[in-house]
Amino acid sequence: MKNEQRPIGIFDSGIGGLTVANAIRKVLPHESFIYFGDTAHLPYGDKSPESIRGYALRITRFLLERRCKAIVIACNTASAHAYKEVVRLCGSEVPVINVIDPVARHTAERFDHGQVGVIGTKGTIQSRVYVQRIERLNPRLKVISNATPLLAPMIEEGFFNNQISRTIIRNYLERPNFKKIRAIILGCTHYPLIAREIREITGVDVDIIDSARVVAGEVKTVLSARHLLNPSASAPSYRFYVSDKTAAFEKSTRIFFREQIKLEKSRIWERG
Ligand code: DGL
């Protein structure tokens, strides 16, 4: 297979990263990809940075063995803790795109000054990676972050657009330190699914930064710069692996990818 026809490798702690895969297929309709959801270790948001690095490296090896031409870390928590290690493993031939840097650049350029909010898992927020990256790029911006650990499991269970989800989201977003924000970054791959509910609470004056779209644009830019875009207009192929497969995961994929997909169980943890 020619270099440019190889698939893109995309991974996440679970199936939330399918929002990123979905955005990528919209922007790059001729690209094939292999998706890996580490459902056996979900959620990453509560795991130690060392554990997350170990998982991310093993999954990256799995994707490199399948000759992926680029790796997308479609998980904020893994991007926060394992990006450098994944880049080192991939070497100079295989570019790695994380979900934090493109969004940090986009935010720093789009807003001149003021306060920007970030919500994400405990792991992402405790790493302070959004705060450091954005404030370094634009010192006139102040980044306020709040961990919102109930949101990812709630969405994964298909629990949104109802009274209870609204109460939980409202509780998180109405924290006093978010009072003056002019934009909010959805710092978790699950959150695009509750963007509408967030909008209802924050109102139209607060911009919602949907990382899936920004990251998909970055994947296109990187592949193009490396001459890795697939020139052929043939139908792409998609494969979806998970490390633990349940009927509930398979059912939830429809919510994230906008169509029913077939999950394949991979035994990478069993082989060590
Ligand atoms: N996909 C993860 C992220 O974007 C959230 C879910 C988890 O905690 O594993 O951070």
Ligand 1: which residue has its CA nearest to atom 5? 188
* b/e per residue 190-209 (b: at least 16 CB within 10 A): bbbbbeebbeebbeeebbbb
- Compute the distance from residue 147 Cα to the ligand 1 centre, in Å: 12
Among the listed residues 75, 100, 129, 209, the single catalytic one is: 75
**207 and 236, same domain (yes or no):** no
Question: Which of 165, 184, 212 is a domain's end point?
Answer: 212
Backbone angles phi, psi at 34, to 5 degrees: -115, 125
Question: Taking the alpha carbons of 177, 179, 183, 185 in that order, is the dihedral positive or negative?
Answer: positive
Cβ atoms 268, 243 nearer than 8 A: yes
Looking at the fold, whether 84 and 183 belong to one and the same domain comes out as no
Largest CA distance in the chain: 55
Residues 202 and 79 reside in one and the same domain: no
Specify the pTM: 0.94
Residue 188 annotated to the active site: yes
Ligand 1 atom at minimum distance from 152 CA: 6
From the CA of 88, how far away is ligand 1's center (Å)? Answer: 22
Q: Are residues 10 and 47 both part of a single domain?
A: yes
Q: How many domains does the chain have?
A: 2
169 and 206 fall within a common domain = yes
**How far is it, in rounded angstroms, from Cα 122 to Cα 108?**
23
- Which residue segment(s) compose the domain that 160 sits in? 101-212
User: Which residue shows structure tokens 């880049």?
Assistant: 87
| Closest ligand 1 atom to 43 CA | 9
One domain for residues 158 and 24: no
Query: Do 36 and 61 have their domain in common?
Result: yes
Residues 109 and 200 grouped into a single domain: yes
Catalytic (active site) residue 68 = no
pLDDT at res. 260: 85
- State the Cα–Cα distance between residues 234 and 222, nearest whole angstrom: 21
10-residue stretch averages of pLDDT, the chain, 272 residues long: 89 93 96 96 92 98 98 96 98 97 97 97 94 98 97 85 94 96 95 93 93 95 96 90 86 85 90 56
Q: So what's the pLDDT on residue 92?
A: 95
Q: What is the DSSP string of 25-49?
A: HHH-TT--EEEEE-TTT--GGGS-H
